Amino acid sequence: MITAQHIEDQIASEAYYVFPGTTATVCLLTLKRGGFHVAGFAQEPGELGMRLARANAKGKIWSHEAYLAAGNVA
């Protein structure tokens, strides 16, 4: 079963970048499994942009983990 905690447990590290002169924020999550990278984006400044970009990236991990789980079930 995939849970929110399972998703958090997949994250090895995170990094953020805000493009100079913009509010465009990118979050890059590195996963423990194979060093796979997932990027999320937000169009908000500061802490809010970081939270939203991270949430966007985590949403992609859900899809990835669901795909892996489906492959293990079949």
- CA 1 to chain centroid: 19
Q: What pLDDT sits at residue 74?
A: 47
Which pTM was predicted? 0.84
Are β-strands 37-43 and 24-31 bridged in parallel, bridged antiparallel, or unpaired? antiparallel
Domain that holds residue 44: 4-73
What are the residues whose beta carbons fall under 8 Å from the beta carbon of 12, sequence distance 6 or more?
30, 31, 32, 35
| CA pair distance 44, 18, nearest whole angstrom | 10
pLDDT of residue 41 exceeding 70: yes
How much is the mean pLDDT over the chain?
Answer: 91
HSE of 11 in the Cβ direction (CA atoms, 13 Å)? Answer: 21
Residue 40 belongs to a domain with what CATH number? 3.30.160
pLDDT at 33: 85
**Domain total in the chain:** 1
